[in-house]
Amino acid sequence: MKIKTALIAAGLALAGIGVQAQAGTDSATFNVTATVINSCKVVAANNIGFGNYDPAGANNTTPLDASGSVQVRCTKNTNAAVTLNQGANPATGSTCASPSRQMTDGGSNRLGYAIYKDAARSQPWGCDATNQASFTSTGIASPITLTTYGRVAAGQDVPAGSYTDTVSVTVTF
């Protein structure tokens, strides 16, 4: 009986060696999705520093010019527009279509200036559709740099002092 049991056990062991277990398989798919949105960000707004204004000398008849820049990064192929508000001290009658900006000495004295979109200083830059700077983005690797061309008109009769203003930049897309 012992031999018979041993032979049966050995036979079962050998039978198991020759037969491999079959593993079942199945497959499925899934989607990977993302939605790229139009987006823009003002990444830099560089000051316009006019330096010294001499109303009794050089700037009596010659305006004082300076420039700065605004840098905007947008999603590729995004149509965008950049506007500049009227500043913190707009002159009476100033509008987005025709901004009349002023720097102040912290008191009641004002020094008028303008910001333009072009080097010839013939296209005022304001805060409506008629005088905004528009562009189509080429992608985030190439931020758009827009130069801000400033001008202080000649012959303004103001006392000596430091004059400042703050202008807000808005990008619409």
In the chain, where are the structural domains located?
40-172
Q: How far is CA 126 from CA 9, 90, 110, 117, in A?
A: 96, 12, 19, 9
Rounded distance, CA 156 to CA 167, Å? 21
Tens digits of pLDDT across the chain (173 residues) = 555 555 455 554 545 555 566 899 999 999 999 999 999 999 999 999 999 999 999 999 999 999 999 999 999 999 999 999 999 999 999 999 999 999 999 999 999 999 999 999 999 999 999 999 999 999 999 999 999 999 999 999 999 999 999 999 999 99
Task: Give the pairing of strands 40-46 and 101-104.
Answer: unpaired
Q: Which of 163, 165, 172 is nearest to 38 (CA)?
A: 172
Cα torsion angle, 155, 70, 126, 139, sign = positive
Phi then psi dihedrals of residue 37, to 5 deg: -105, 155
This prediction has a pTM of: 0.83
In single-letter form, the type of residue at position 82 comes to V
Tokens linked to 83: 């506007």
DSSP helix/strand/coil, 73: strand
Task: Give the pairing of strands 64-74 and 144-152.
Answer: antiparallel
Q: Around 170, how many Cα atoms within 13 Å sit in the side-chain half-sphere?
A: 14
Dihedral over alpha carbons 159, 160, 162, 166 (to 10 degrees): 30
Fold held by 40-172? Immunoglobulin-like (2.60.40)
